[in-house]
Amino acid sequence: NFMLTQPHSVSGSPGKTVTISCTRSSGNIASTYVQWHQQRPGSAPTNVIYEDNRRPFGVPDRFSGSLVSSSNSASLTISGLKTEDEADYYCQSYDNVNHLWVFGGGTKLTVL
């Protein structure tokens, strides 16, 4: 089984840009899609990125996803930060050898 490692926390000021990384421990990050979920305090998660870089309907284009092959990682970038973006963010990918879903440990985004 592989693991997905995220930074515990990141922060940014309103209007600025932050990037959250998600590093895969083994196997190629590009071998299965990466998803990103946002979880505001006291709420259920909501999907903000699927298939590495696609946004569900209704998610603003301030949210973007990408893969960084050199570090075997995925990234979630949020531009034009708003206070409403303050939340926990989780990356997710599929282990198609063992047939299980893997979540990263989550990153707490603080908008200062």
Partner 1 sequence: EVQLVESGGGLVKPGASLRLSCAVSGITFGSYSMNWVRQAPGKGLEWVSSISASSSNIYYGDSVKGRFTVSRDNAKSLLYLQMHSLRAEDTAVYYCARELLSFDYWGQGTLVTVSS
Enumerate residues 6+ apart whose C-beta is below 8 A from 48: 36, 37, 38, 55, 56, 59, 63, 76, 89
The distance from CA 108 to its chain's CA centroid, rounded to whole angstroms, is 11
Cβ-based nearer residue to partner 1, 12 or 106: 106
The distance from CA 109 to its chain's CA centroid, rounded to whole angstroms, is 11
Cβ-based nearer residue to partner 1, 27 or 45: 45
Cβ-based nearer residue to partner 1, 18 or 49: 49
Residue 92 CB, nearest approach to partner 1 (Å): 7
Cβ-based nearer residue to partner 1, 44 or 70: 44
Residue 77 CB, nearest approach to partner 1 (Å): 18
Cα–Cα distance measured from residue 23 to residue 112, given in angstroms and rounded to the nearest whole number:
26
Residues near partner 1, by CB under 8 A: 33, 35, 37, 39, 43-47, 50-51, 54, 56, 88, 90, 92, 99-106
Residue 105 CB, nearest approach to partner 1 (Å): 5
Residue 70 CB, nearest approach to partner 1 (Å): 25
Cα–Cα distance measured from residue 53 to residue 63, given in angstroms and rounded to the nearest whole number:
9
Task: Name the strand (E) or helix (H) holding 83.
Answer: none
